[in-house]
Each structure stands twice: as C-alpha cells, then as structure tokens.
Structure 1
Amino acid sequence: MAATPLAAQEKTGNKPGFTLTPGTVTIVLMRPEIAVGAQSTGGAFEPNADWTDQARENLGLALAQAQAQAQGQLGNEVVNFVEPVGQGAATAHEYRALFTALADSVITYQFFPGNRLPTKKRDGSFLWSIGPEVAKLPGLQGADYALFVTTVDHYGSTGRKLLQVVAAGVAGVGVTAGVHKGYAGLIDLKTGDLVWLNADLAMGGDVRTPAGAVKRVSQLLEGFPGTTAQTAAR
C-alpha cells in the first residue's frame, strides 16, 4: 500500500443494488473507535490519552450535530448505541475492531485497483460482510442498520518532521509525518453485509479541536446513502 499513490485510491463503495430511501429506516450509530497519539521519530505510534479524550468528546458533539441536521446529513432516524456491560461490552468492541479490519481489507483489495482481488476485477463487486451475528448485540434489536465509525490520528512529532525534511533533502526519500485516516460504514443488520463504506487514508480536520472534528465528521459522511450532502473541503 505504501508504494501506491493515494490519488489512485477509491474512497467510497456500495453493495450492488443497494439503495436507501431517506426517512424509511432506523440506524444505530455505534460508539466510534478512536485512536489519537503521536508518531515518534522512528514512526511508532505513541497513544495520548488526553488527545483521545478530546477527540472522543469533539467527535461525539460533531456526530450529534450531524444527526440534528438529518435532512442534509443522514436523512433517517439515527439513535446512539447504548454500550452494554460485561460480556456485551467486550463483544461490541470486537465488532468495532472487526469492522476496522474489514474496512482495511476493502481499502487494500478493492479501493486500490492495482491490488484488486481477481473476483473484484471481473465485475467490481462490492461484497463484504461481518456476519449476521452482529444483530444479536444488545441494543440493535429492531434497527435496520448499524453505522460504524473509526478514526486514527498519529500526529508527527518534532523529530519525525525533522526526519521527513532531512530524508527528502539529503537522500531524496519520502518519509510521512503523521497518519490521519477514517472509515464510516453501514452494516445491514439482517445480513451483516457492508452496504456502504467511505474510507480515506488522508483525512483532514484536527480531531483534537471542535472545528476540526466537525470537518472530520463531514468528510466521514460524504456520500452517505440517500442524502445529497456536499463534498467537504480538505
């Protein structure tokens, strides 16, 4: 993936034949999976609890704002997932992690045409699933879809940024400083199928600030089925 230009990446996909008529379904917004920290000089991720807490609060408010503006954003009844306790909480976390892994696979094997699996090359079929058992999670009964959100932000440290400059100037080698990726995906609770995914490996918006979180959420929800939301500026 590192050798593939980001410009070659497709960012949005739908299951063949999937449509969503505004105002006809109930969508459960799962608790977003959020990771925020620093990128060391060597490129390692160093989690930052304070930044993560800031991002969780800011993104939560931005998502609530998007729900309040449903006609232009999500277009359907959206309710927040009530995090269960005990084993249910562990299972919910496992499904969030499974969604993230699935989104990574879609990016690698479908959104980059050069890496596309043989079965995807023939007709471009967008057929991915986390399995129908997800509907058994407490709190999803009676809903039609679950909306999963993942954001990952590694802010380049001073050392990493200096390495980027030195590597480019001395060796002519490209070194990235920072990672900012986000995924939003809609799961059909009847089948567990991924029916829509928006995934970007170079998202904008500093999630540590309220304004940046609003921008990030706007980008995450670009092209949401059944809406006419405008493409957000990077």
Structure 2
Amino acid sequence: MRYLIPVCLTLAVLPNAALSQERTAVKQGFELPANSGKKILLIRPKVSVGEQSTGGLFEANANWTDNARKNIDAALVKKQGVLGNTILISPEAYGDQALVSEEYTNLFGAVASAVVNYQFFVGNRLPTKKRDNKEGVFNWSLGEGVGNIPGAQDADYALFIYNKDAYGSTGRKLLQLVAAFGPGLAVKSGEHLGYAGLVDLKTGELLWLNADGAMGGDVREADGAERRVGQLLEEFPGSVEAVEKAKQQ
C-alpha cells in the first residue's frame, strides 16, 4: 500500500479539465435510510489551498490551508445533524495508525479522480470498466484494508472528503486575459475541486460519490466553507435533503 500511494496521490491532484460540473453516483442497490442506526466515521478531510502560478503550477499556502481546514471542520460539525445517521469523528491517531488513515485518504482522492475521468465521462472509459457502460452500474473500491483505519471498528461506513483550491495568481489572471484575445487559446485561472464519498468499511466498496470541479465558496472564510460543505454533501444518502427529494419524486 505505501508504495502505491505516491502514484495514487499524483493522480488525485492532477488538474481535471473534463470535470466542469457536479456529478453524483450511487452503487447499484445501495440505500441508506435516515435513522437506520448505521454509524458513519467522518475521516479528517484532505484540504489543500494555495495559488496557481502563471504557468499553472499549484503553490501551497500554509496559512490559507490551515484556515480552510478549521473552517471546513467547523462547517462539518454544523452539518452533522441533518445527515440522517450517527456521525462519529475519527479519533486522533499517531505513528503507523496516522499513516494508515492518511494513506487511505489519499487513495480515496485517487479513486475519486479515476471515477471522474473514467466513469463519469464515457469517452475516457478504462478498458477494465467497459462493463460499466450499462446505466446504473458503479463498481469501485478502496480495498478491504480500509477497515484498518483508526475508529473503523466502531462504524459501518467511512465518509471521506477531498478538497483542493488553487486561487489564480496575478500573473495567471493576466495570462488568462491575454489568452482571451489569442486565436483558439484558453487559459483557466484557479481550480476549486471537491470530492465526498461514502465507503463500506467491511468491503471497501465506494457506495456514493459526489464530485465537482468548479465548487463555490471561499473556504478561507467561514461562510464560504459552509457553502462548500453544503455542496460536497448535497443529497448525501439518508440526509434530510435526500429524503425530501425522494418524497418529491
């Protein structure tokens, strides 16, 4: 696992030009009723915030990331009451246990990125996923080892969140402006990417995924983080919002 993570992490943080709007998928046959008695382990979110250089490279900003992480954590606490089932916060972990949690958080980001590229957009579908061309088939996994994450023994599912924000630098914005007047040139300034996924802690199967490559809300601010978390957990299985939508249908 530890040898695979660097490769997976590289995949997870690559800019995704194809992901231009929110997409959601649920594993065929999976349902999570509200108040089912199931327990969901909330894994510490993966949060990266920085600047997009003139050349398009991501340059992390420690202060922005720290503020965003605190704001997102606070927004998640507020959101717990409407998610429809019991939410458990992942315990503090140290040493090898902390490494296991980090590895699977990174792996989730890589798998979610693969889903976006090779499941949501049929033209890019992996040869091994040809069977998933049928409507309603969603078959991805993090592996059974996910059950080794600290706190997993007390829960049924794990909720993973991956969030990356790259705010366009002045140079990048100027390049975008210049490119707008060039023949056939397109330069994107900024990247606001988010994934939220529910994973079965016994099987490792990815049961639900919500992905958006153009998220709103400035996570460096408290109200912006609340908006972001609301988007990430939109129509979360068993949530008040999901139940109300089901009634309307």
TM-score w.r.t. length of structure 1: 0.91
Deviation at 1:122, TM superposition (A): 3.3
Pick from 57, 63, 72: which aligns with 1:50?
A: 63
Q: 5+ unaligned residues in a row in structure 1: which ranges? A: none
Alignment of 1:189-200 (within 5 A): 189-200=201-212
Q: 5+ unaligned residues in a row in structure 2: which ranges? A: 1-14, 243-249
CA distance in 1, matches of 2:91, 2:39: 15
Does residue 111 of structure 2 align to residue 102 of structure 1? yes
CA distance in 2, matches of 1:136, 1:172: 50
The aligned length equals: 225
Three-state SS of the structure 1 residue aligned to 2:182 is helix
> 1:168 is matched with which residue?
180
Q: Is the 8 A contact 2:19 2:116 kept in 1?
A: no
CA distance in 1, matches of 2:212, 2:219: 15
Deviation at 1:226, TM superposition (A): 1.5
Does residue 15 of structure 2 align to residue 6 of structure 1? no
Deviation at 1:5, TM superposition (A): 7.1
Three-state SS of the structure 1 residue aligned to 2:164 is strand
CA distance in 2, matches of 1:62, 1:152: 16
> 2:5 is matched with which residue?
none
Which residue type is aligned with residue 20 of structure 2? L
CA distance in 1, matches of 2:161, 2:201: 16
CA distance in 1, matches of 2:161, 2:76: 10
Does residue 48 of structure 2 align to residue 35 of structure 1? yes
CA distance in 2, matches of 1:2, 1:185: 18
Deviation at 1:182, TM superposition (A): 0.3
Three-state SS of the structure 2 residue aligned to 1:171 is coil
CA distance in 1, matches of 2:105, 2:19: 28
Deviation at 1:228, TM superposition (A): 4.0
Which residue type is aligned with residue 220 of structure 2? R
Pick from 136, 144, 162: which aligns with 1:132?
A: 144
Q: Is the 8 A contact 2:19 2:212 kept in 1?
A: no
CA distance in 1, matches of 2:64, 2:204: 32
Does residue 210 of structure 2 align to residue 201 of structure 1? no
RMSD of aligned alpha carbons:
1.8
Q: Is the 8 A contact 1:147 1:186 kept in 2?
A: yes
CA distance in 1, matches of 2:232, 2:93: 25
Bigger fraction of residues in helix = 2
Alignment of 1:7-156 (within 5 A): 11-24=23-36, 25-67=38-80, 70=81, 73-116=82-125, 117-156=129-168
Three-state SS of the structure 2 residue aligned to 1:212 is helix
Cα pair distance change 1:3/1:89, threshold 3 Å: closer
Deviation at 1:190, TM superposition (A): 1.5
CA distance in 2, matches of 1:31, 1:103: 16
Cα pair distance change 1:149/1:4, threshold 3 Å: closer
Q: Is the 8 A contact 1:31 1:83 kept in 2?
A: no
TM-score w.r.t. length of structure 2: 0.86
CA distance in 1, matches of 2:158, 2:49: 24
Deviations along 1:2-58, one digit per CA (max 9) or x if unpaired, are 664725xx6100010000011121001000000000000000110000000000010
CA distance in 1, matches of 2:136, 2:117: 14
Which residue type is aligned with residue 92 of structure 1? S
